[in-house]
Amino acid sequence: MNLDLNKIKPLTSQYIASGYKKDNISIASLERTEDGLIACIDVDDFFIPSDGQYHFTAFHAQLVVSQLIIIHGCLTLGLHKKSGEAYMREFKMKLKKKINKHKGILVVAHYDKMRIKNKNAFINSTFSFEDKSFYGEISAVIPLDSEE
């Protein structure tokens, strides 16, 4: 049965439809620790939903931790630039509490394991946003040499 798209529109999320395109996320500060990274994230431009309050989203979190695992991997490997496209292998996250601020969002990432195989670095990490408001695990692969 085909649904009338005009009738469905009131049921959809304006953020998912187009609002996310307004979001501009940046790393405001970054500190390297013995086993990971501590970052402070700002969302400079953002969408305000119908409730009138900004919400840091799961989309944001996934982008941020993906970027951090690439940075950590490259630093640990002594790379001065990313040598090819990095790929996320697994991602699991729980969202325990809302994050409504858009400046100074604290992210702590711990890198549990890295192994090298077939010119690739495989990295496993755990992460937490704002004292486990959002938290989870990510694994990624970073190429060690590429023809890019």
Token code pair at residue 94: 């729980």
Does domain 19-143 fall into CATH 2.40.50.100?
Answer: no
pTM of the complete model: 0.89
Tens of pLDDT along 62-116? 999 999 999 999 999 899 888 889 999 999 999 999 999 999 999 999 999 899 9
Token code pair at residue 27: 């790393």
Judge whether 88 and 66 are in contact, CB under 8 Å: yes
Domain ranges of the chain: 19-143
Give the type of residue at 50.
Answer: S
Give me the pLDDT at residue 146, please: 59
Burial 8-43 (b: 16+ CB within 10 A, else e): eeeeeeebeeeeeeebebeeeeeeeeeebbebebbb
Tens of pLDDT along 2-24? 989 899 888 888 888 888 888 99
Judge whether 121 and 141 are in contact, CB under 8 Å: yes
Arithmetic mean of pLDDT, 21-36:
94
- Distance CA(147)–CA(1), nearest Å, equals 49
- Distance CA(133)–CA(94), nearest Å, equals 8
- The answer, yes or no, to whether residue 148 has pLDDT greater than 60, is no
